C-alpha cells in the first residue's frame, strides 16, 4: 500500500489539528497586544528571573535525581544487595505519589504542629523555596531515571566491562570509562522525561513558594487575569521545552546501541558489597523513609484528625469521578494512539507517506512535550474565541487529556507493531480477508499487551493530572487531585488526607501492575 487508508489518516489529521491549532492561537494571543505593551511585557526583568529560576531548578533536579537513581539502579542490578526486590519497589513506587501529594505530606509532617513534631518531638523546618522544591521534585521524579538506568544495566552486555578488566582497568576505572558511557542513551531518555516534568510543574513550586514560569502562568491567569502576559509566559516556557528537546536530540545523535557480542548478552556477575553493605543499606533506608514512609505516615496521621464531614462525604464522588475520567481518557487516548503508531510503524518509508508518518508522530510528541499548563491555556484561548460553548465542559477536558497523553500511549503500541511481523497481515489479505477483518482478527490480538500497557500508562497519568483539570474542568467537577490541591493550598491538611490516601493507594496499585506488565514484556522479549 502506498498510502495509509482513510480510517487511519482521519484520526492522525485530527491529532495534528488538535495539537497545533490551540498552540497557534496561543501565539496569536501573545502578539495581540499593542507594540508598547509587548515591549513592556517581553523585557520585564521578572522574565529573566523566572527563566533563571526555572532553568536552575531543572538542571539541579537532573543532577540530584541522577545521584539518587544511578546508585540505586546499580545496587539492584550489579551487586549482591539484599533485599533486592524491596529496593526495586523503592525505585518505582514514588511514581504513585504525584509531586503535589509528596509536597503536601512533607509540609504537613514538618514545622511546628506537624506530624513529626507532635509524634516524635522533632521540629524540623518545613521545606520551602529552591531547596524545598528541589528536594520534593528529586524524591518523586527520580523513578523516571531509575527505570531507564535499571533496564540498561540489567539488559546490557557486560562484554566491554569484562574486556576492560582483562586489560588491567580497576573496577572504578571500568565504571567511569565503560559502564557510564554505555548508559548515556538510557540517561538521556530518562533525563528528558524528568526535565519536561520539572519544566511543566506548577504545583510543587507553588506550594514551596518558589517562582518559576509555570507558577507565574497559573498566578497570572487565575489571580491577575492578565491573559496576554500569561500567554507570553507560556511561550517562553515552550522555548525552554523546545531547547530541552533539541538538546536531547543533539546528544543522542550518533549514539549506537548495538551489542559487542552478536548473541544473547552474558549473565552479569554480581559484585560483593562487603564493607559497603552498611552504607548501601543506609542509603536505601534513608531514601525509602523520605520518599515513602514519611509521606504515608503523615497522611495517616492527618487522616486520624479529620473532622470535616464534607471531605468524607465527597470522597466517594471524587474517587468515582477521577477513576471514570481516567478510564474514559485511557480508552480514547489508546484508540487515537493506535492509528498514529500503525502509520509510524508500517508507513515510515521514503516518500510522501513516510513524511506524513514522521510529521504525525512528531506533532503527537509536541502535545506531550508542551507543559500541561501552557497547553491548557492554549485550549482556553482557542475555545473562547472559536467555540465558546465548549469552554469548561467535560468534552474539552477529555480532549485535552487525549491530546496531551497520546504520545505516552504510542510507544507501547509501536513496540508491539515492531515485534509483530507485517507478513501475518499480508498472509491474511492473500487469504481473502478485508483490511478491517485483518485488523480485527490478526493485528489487534497481537497488540493486546501493548494496548493494555498504553491504557494503563494513560490511566495513571490522568489520575494524577492537575493543571489540565484545574483550568479546563467543568464547574463542580471534583477529582482526587483537585481536592488534594484545594485543601493543601489552604493548609487544611486533615481535609486533604482522605483524597491523598485514595490517590496514593490507586496510584500504587496501578504502578505495581504496570511494573509487572513491563517486566513480563521484557521477559517475553
Task: Report yes or no on 179 lying in a domain.
Answer: no
Q: Enumerate residues 6+ apart whose C-beta is below 8 A from 329.
A: 398, 401, 402, 405, 458, 459, 462
Calculate mean pLDDT across residues 14-26: 85
The enclosing H or E element of 333 equals: helix 309-346
- The CATH code of the domain that includes 347 is 1.10.3720.10
Asked if residue 524 has pLDDT above 50, the reply is no
Rounded CA-CA distance 371/117 in Å is: 37
Report yes or no on 172 lying in a domain. no
Does residue 7 lie in a domain region? Answer: yes
Do 70 and 209 belong together in one domain?
yes
The CA distance from 457 to 273, in Å, is: 35
Kindly tell me if the per-residue pLDDT of 264 is higher than 60.
no
**Residue 57 — pLDDT band, cuts 50, 70, 90?**
very high
Average pLDDT over the chain, rounded to whole? 82
In a domain, residue 396? The reply is yes
Work out the number of other CB atoms within 10 angstroms of the CB of residue 420: 17
Evaluate whether residue 176 is within a structural domain: no
Highest mean pLDDT among 35-44, 299-308, 471-480: 471-480
Pair (350, 205) in one structural domain: no
446 and 416 within one domain: yes
* CA separation for the pair 3, 15 (Å, rounded): 18
CB 196 within 8 A of CB 304: no
Share of the chain above pLDDT 90, in %: 23
How many angstroms separate the CA atoms of 97 and 93, rounded? 8
345 or 335, higher pLDDT: 335
The total domain count for the chain is 2
- Domain of 36, in residue numbers: 1-43+307-525
Percentage of the chain surpassing pLDDT 70?
Answer: 83
Looking at the structure, tell me whether residues 64 and 133 fall in a common domain. yes
Q: Does 460 lie in the same domain as 321?
A: yes
**Residues 137, 197 share a domain:** yes
Q: Please check whether residue 92 lies inside any domain of the structure.
A: yes
Q: Are residues 368 and 358 in the same domain?
A: yes
pTM above 0.85, yes or no: no
Amino acid at each position: 500500500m502506498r498510502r495509509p487508508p482513510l480510517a487511519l489518516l482521519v484520526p492522525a489529521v485530527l491529532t495534528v489539528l488538535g495539537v497545533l491549532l490551540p498552540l497557534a492561537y496561543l501565539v496569536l494571543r501573545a502578539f495581540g497586544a499593542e507594540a508598547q505593551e509587548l515591549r513592556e511585557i517581553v523585557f520585564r526583568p521578572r522574565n529573566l528571573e523566572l527563566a533563571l529560576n526555572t532553568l536552575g531548578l531543572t538542571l539541579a533536579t537532573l543532577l540530584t535525581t541522577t545521584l539518587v537513581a544511578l546508585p540505586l539502579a546499580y545496587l539492584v542490578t550489579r551487586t549482591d544487595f539484599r533485599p533486592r526486590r524491596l529496593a526495586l519497589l523503592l525505585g518505582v513506587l514514588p511514581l504513585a505519589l504525584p509531586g503535589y501529594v509528596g509536597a503536601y505530606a512533607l509540609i504537613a509532617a514538618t514545622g511546628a504542629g506537624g506530624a513529626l513534631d507532635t509524634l516524635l518531638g522533632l521540629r524540623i523546618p518545613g521545606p520551602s523555596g529552591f531547596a524545598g522544591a528541589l528536594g520534593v521534585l528529586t524524591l518523586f521524579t527520580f523513578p523516571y531515571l531509575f527505570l531507564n538506568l535499571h533496564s540498561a544495566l540489567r539488559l546490557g552486555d557486560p562484554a566491554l566491562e569484562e574486556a576492560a578488566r582483562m586489560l588491567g582497568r580497576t573496577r572504578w576505572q571500568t565504571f567511569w570509562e565503560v559502564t557510564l558511557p554505555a548508559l548515556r542513551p538510557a540517561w538521556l531518555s530518562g533525563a528528558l522525561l524528568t526535565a519536561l516534568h520539572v519544566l511543566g510543574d506548577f504545583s510543587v513550586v507553588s506550594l514551596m513558594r518558589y517562582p518559576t514560569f509555570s507558577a507565574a502562568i497559573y498566578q497570572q491567569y487565575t489571580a491577575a487575569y492578565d491573559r496576554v502576559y500569561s500567554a507570553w509566559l507560556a511561550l517562553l516556557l515552550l522555548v525552554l521545552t523546545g531547547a530541552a528537546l533539541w538538546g536531547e536530540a543533539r546528544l543522542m545523535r550518533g549514539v549506537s546501541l548495538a551489542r559487542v557480542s552478536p548473541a544473547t548478552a552474558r549473565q552479569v556477575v554480581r559484585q560483593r558489597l562487603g564493607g559497603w553493605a552498611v552504607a548501601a543499606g543506609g542509603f536505601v533506608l534513608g531514601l525509602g523513609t523520605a520518599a515513602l514512609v514519611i509521606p504515608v505516615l503523615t497522611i495517616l496521621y492527618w487522616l486520624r484528625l479529620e473532622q470535616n464531614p464534607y471531605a468524607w462525604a465527597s470522597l466517594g464522588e471524587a474517587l468515582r469521578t477521577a477513576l471514570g475520567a481516567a478510564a474514559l481518557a485511557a480508552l480514547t487516548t489508546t484508540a487515537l494512539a493506535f492509528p498514529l503508531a500503525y502509520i509510524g510503524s508500517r508507513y515510515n518509508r521514503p516518500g510522501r507517506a513516510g513524511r506524513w508518518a514522521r510529521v504525525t508522530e512528531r506533532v503527537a510528541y509536541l502535545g506531550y512535550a508542551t507543559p500541561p499548563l501552557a497547553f491548557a491555556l492554549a485550549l482556553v484561548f482557542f475555545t473562547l474565541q472559536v467555540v465558546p460553548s465548549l469552554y469548561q465542559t467535560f468534552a474539552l477536558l477529555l480532549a485535552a487529556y487525549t491530546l496531551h497523553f497520546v504520545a505516552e500511549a504510542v510507544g507501547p503500541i509501536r513496540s508491539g507493531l515492531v515485534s509483530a511481523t507485517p507478513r501475518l497481515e499480508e498472509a491474511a489479505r492473500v487469504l481473502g480477508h478485508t483490511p478491517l477483518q485483518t485488523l480485527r482478527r490478526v493485528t489487534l490480538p497481537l497488540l493486546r499487551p501493548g494496548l493494555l500497557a498504553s491504557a494503563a500508562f494513560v490511566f495513571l497519568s490522568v489520575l494524577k493530572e492537575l493543571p489540565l483539570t484545574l483550568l479546563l474542568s467543568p464547574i463542580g467537577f471534583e477529582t482526587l487531585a483537585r481536592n488534594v490541591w484545594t485543601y493543601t493550598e489552604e493548609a487544611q491538611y486533615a481535609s486533604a488526607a482522605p483524597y491523598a490516601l485514595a490517590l496514593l493507594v490507586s496510584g500504587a496499585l496501578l504502578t505495581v501492575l504496570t511494573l509487572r506488565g513491563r517486566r513480563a514484556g521484557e521477559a517475553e522479549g
